Amino acid sequence: MSSTKPPQPGPLGWPRAFPIAQAPNAPLLAAFAGRGLQALGRGRARHAGGVLYTVALTVWAGEEALGGVNWLRRLLGVGTLAWLLGSTAAGRRTPRTPVSAASRAD
């Protein structure tokens, strides 16, 4: 009979060997910044924010899909890549952001 111990819980009760959430890495922080710029910017700044968001989120999702620490993180990466690809194939900008009257004037 083997004496294997169950996984030890982390600080929030989840096993340390199966992290779900962690501090954002550089591509994810860049995606957040791009999304903020897209939401608050006008004209070229708004467009640049959308490009930054899409590129950074694609890099993050690729890193998670190929090197995620567990199956759930890899699945999250693959799902995000599929969502980005589907949005691009449908001809939509990601994510959809309402166009305000102020940004139309630019």
Q: Where are the domains of the chain?
A: 26-95
Reading the block at residue 21, the tokens are 């959430």
- pLDDT, tens only, 36-90: 999 999 999 999 999 999 999 999 999 999 999 889 999 999 999 999 999 888 7
Question: So what's the pLDDT on residue 13?
Answer: 61
Q: Determine the Cα–Cα distance for residues 88 and 44; give it in Å rounded to an integer.
A: 20
Lowest mean pLDDT among 14-18, 54-58, 64-68, 99-103: 99-103
Reading the block at residue 95, the tokens are 């994510």
Task: Provide the whole-model pTM.
Answer: 0.71
- Of the candidates 76, 77, 49, 42, which has an alpha carbon nearest to the alpha carbon of residue 63? 77
Give the CA angle between residues 20, 28, 36 to the nearest 5°. 125
Reading the block at residue 81, the tokens are 């890549």
Question: So what's the pLDDT on residue 54?
Answer: 94
Whether residue 39 contacts residue 54, with contact meaning beta carbons closer than 8 Å, is answered with no
Reading the block at residue 17, the tokens are 């060997």
Question: So what's the pLDDT on residue 20?
Answer: 75
User: Mean pLDDT in the chain?
Assistant: 82
